[in-house]
Amino acid sequence: MKLTAKAARARTGLGPAPAVVLVRPQLGENVGQVARAMLNFGLSDLRLVRPRFGWPNAKAVAAAAGAHEVLNRMRVHDELAAATADLHLVYATTARERGLDKPVVTAEEAGRRARAAEGEGLRVGYLFGPERTGLDNAELARADALLTIPLNPAFSSLNLAQAVLLCGYEWFRAGDRTPSERRPAGRDRPATRGELDAFLDWLLAALDETGFFRSPQRRESLVRQIEAMCARHHPTVSELNLLFGILKQLRRGGPPTAGTGRTGS
Amino acid sequence: MKLTAKAARARTGLGPAPAVVLVRPQLGENVGQVARAMLNFGLSDLRLVRPRFGWPNAKAVAAAAGAHEVLNRMRVHDELAAATADLHLVYATTARERGLDKPVVTAEEAGRRARAAEGEGLRVGYLFGPERTGLDNAELARADALLTIPLNPAFSSLNLAQAVLLCGYEWFRAGDRTPSERRPAGRDRPATRGELDAFLDWLLAALDETGFFRSPQRRESLVRQIEAMCARHHPTVSELNLLFGILKQLRRGGPPTAGTGRTGS
């Protein structure tokens, strides 16, 4: 079953996404892993140029587990020119600066620009070279820009699927609206200032009764510390009730030694 | 050979970095792949809690190819509490919202906060659960925050090493100063406005001589288009020289038909 681009997009639930072009890939299983990495971020347009293995390829299919829609749509080309003919903006990934007279962008910047171009109806592609050697200079020269992924300079050995994963991630992130922090909704809410004050009033009265503060000077300083701690952590209503329960229990339920200062007992 | 934390940091050339804690990992080779993914972004403090395989593990060592310094430093613990005892800030990764009353941050936000905490001398850790099930609720409850990686909701099956790779990438990126675009330095420079004008003057004169514009109205409009194209692309000095050479050659070297309007021949 072949999925059209539109059907594949409908399946992933996302809009247009960049094509991934693997130039002379050496290992079939890498193609399967690339298909999975792509689909994780909503990319489904995979193109091969002169793969060094036969196609269809059993290892690729096995490694693609779950991402078969990408392989089903995939096209194999004899020439890079044919694989990129319909693309308006092409990034060539490279691990090293090659001394080419061409701008070099990060994966993050490429993701942002790809989204912007797609917003104008343009088609974008990312080129990846053979596993061992990368793209050659003639292939790099035809791209609009080079793309390098910032890495630990002392250890920078990404495999092909990982490089695709990070480029896909940056493209996805550039259009993703997940808030950087979400707080669980509904079930609980921060205590109001009035609820905090009621808690503090009870606590200070209990501490006064038990002689915790010892002197007025010490009391002033400790009350300030207690209030600051309460403000800094700003407990929720449930947390305040939990604390209330704990403190009341400790106040009431200590070992029945004489002279604990308990009132009303 | 065991590397100390300090020696490993010196080796990677980076400052302090988060610990990665794998809780009950199921497959030895994943530990090796995690070690590689970590070192790509300068992380080298790996901790295992109750692995489901024996240790040392030949598959892990084979999969770590090149990242042995991470395995050499690694520690195996019986309890999560022991593996996290020295950490000040702990993120628990999870693929799904678990309905826990706890903030959920993106990998990007976690990376930023980890860098900030490390800047204050605090130690940070990322927890990852077993490959099949993820962390359980008791394990998640003890973390400072949950961490989820935004993914294509229709296909969100990251493997363990990929999840570590993306968390490591975001931590690295939060401290990375690679400019989003670099332009090759030195060898070439944009043409000055004067150089552009000299080129345009030559071009317009040549076009006038060959009768390209046909009418003054047409000339005005076409000159504006030519000037706009030149401004939009703003060629470099070498490009301008290349264009000059091409245009002069075409003007001079056409087939020797009569009446080409060439002057001085």
Q: Which residues of B fall within a CB distance of 8 Å from A237?
A: none
Q: What is the pLDDT of residue B62?
A: 94
Arithmetic mean of pLDDT, B39-54: 97
Arithmetic mean of pLDDT, A121-143: 94
| CATH architecture of the domain with residue range A5-174 | 3-Layer(aba) Sandwich (3.40)
Q: Please name the residue of chain A whose CA is at the shortest distance from the CA of residue B37.
A: A158
Q: Return d(Cα A108, Cα A112) in angstroms, integer.
A: 6
User: What residues form DSSP beta bridges with B124?
Assistant: B89
Instruction: Tell me which residue of B210, B230, B208 sits closest to B220, measured CA to CA.
Output: B208
Q: What is the pLDDT of residue A255?
A: 60
Q: Determine, for residues A108 and B173 on separate chains, whether the beta-carbon distance falls below 8 Å.
A: yes
Q: Does B265 touch chain A (CB under 8 A)?
A: no
Q: Which residues of A fall within a CB distance of 8 Å from B183?
A: 103-104
**Terminal CA-CA length for chain B:** 82
Interface A:B, Cβ pairs < 8 A: 130
List A residues 106-165 in contact with B (Cβ-Cβ < 8 A). 106, 108-109, 145, 150-158, 162, 165
Arithmetic mean of pLDDT, B138-156: 92
Position A265 confidence tier, pLDDT thresholds 50, 70, 90: very low
pLDDT, tens only, A142-196 = 899 999 999 999 998 899 999 999 999 999 999 999 999 988 776 778 899 899 9
Q: Is the peptide bond before B56 cis (omega within 30 degrees of 0)?
A: yes
A231 SS3 class: helix
Q: How far B23 CA sits from the closest chain A CA (Å)?
A: 23
A169 residue type, one letter:
Y
Q: Please name the residue of chain A whose CA is at the shortest distance from the CA of residue B100.
A: A184
Q: Determine, for residues A40 and B105 on separate chains, whether the beta-carbon distance falls below 8 Å.
A: no
Q: Return d(Cα A20, Cα A124) in angstroms, integer.
A: 9
Q: Is B142's pLDDT higher than 90?
A: no
Q: Is A249's pLDDT higher than 90?
A: no
Q: Is B255's pLDDT higher than 90?
A: no
Position B141 confidence tier, pLDDT thresholds 50, 70, 90: confident
pLDDT, tens only, A41-98 = 999 999 999 999 999 999 999 999 889 999 999 999 999 999 999 999 999 999 877 7
Residue A192 in contact with residue A233, Cβ under 8 Å?
A: no
Q: Is B55's pLDDT higher than 60?
A: yes
pTM of the model: 0.83
Look over chain B and give the mean of its residue pLDDT values, rounded to a whole number: 88
* Complete DSSP assignment for A128-164: E--TTT---HHHHHTSSEEEE----TT-----HHHHH
Q: Please name the residue of chain B whose CA is at the shortest distance from the CA of residue A10.
A: B154
Q: What is the pLDDT of residue B102?
A: 84
Q: Does B11 touch chain A (CB under 8 A)?
A: yes
Identity of the residue in A40, A155, A181 whose CB atom sits nearest the CB atom of B156: A40
Q: Return d(Cα A220, Cα A210) in angstroms, integer.
A: 16
Q: What is the pLDDT of residue A180?
A: 94
Residue B61 burial by Cβ neighbours in a 10 Å radius (0-12, 13-18, 19+): middle
The full set of domain ranges for chain A reads 5-174, 193-253
Q: Return d(Cα B199, Cα A119) in angstroms, integer.
A: 35
| Percent of chain B's residues with pLDDT above 70 | 89
Q: What is the pLDDT of residue B263?
A: 47
Q: What is the pLDDT of residue A7?
A: 47
Arithmetic mean of pLDDT, A230-244: 89
Q: Determine, for residues B188 and A103 on separate chains, whether the beta-carbon distance falls below 8 Å.
A: no
Q: Determine, for residues A173 and B156 on separate chains, whether the beta-carbon distance falls below 8 Å.
A: no
Q: What is the pLDDT of residue B12?
A: 47
Q: Please name the residue of chain A whose CA is at the shortest distance from the CA of residue B42.
A: A152
Q: Determine, for residues B153 and A108 on separate chains, whether the beta-carbon distance falls below 8 Å.
A: no
Rg over alpha carbons for chain B, rounded to the nearest Å, is 31
Position B254 confidence tier, pLDDT thresholds 50, 70, 90: low
Residue with tokens 């409009």, as numbered in its chain: B221
Question: Of the given ranges (B13-22, B216-225, B241-250, B255-264), which has the lowest mean pLDDT?
Answer: B255-264
Look over chain A and give the mean of its residue pLDDT values, rounded to a whole number: 88
Alpha helices in chain B (DSSP H): 5-12, 28-40, 58-63, 68-73, 80-84, 107-119, 137-141, 160-174, 193-209, 216-233, 237-253
Q: Does A186 touch chain B (CB under 8 A)?
A: no
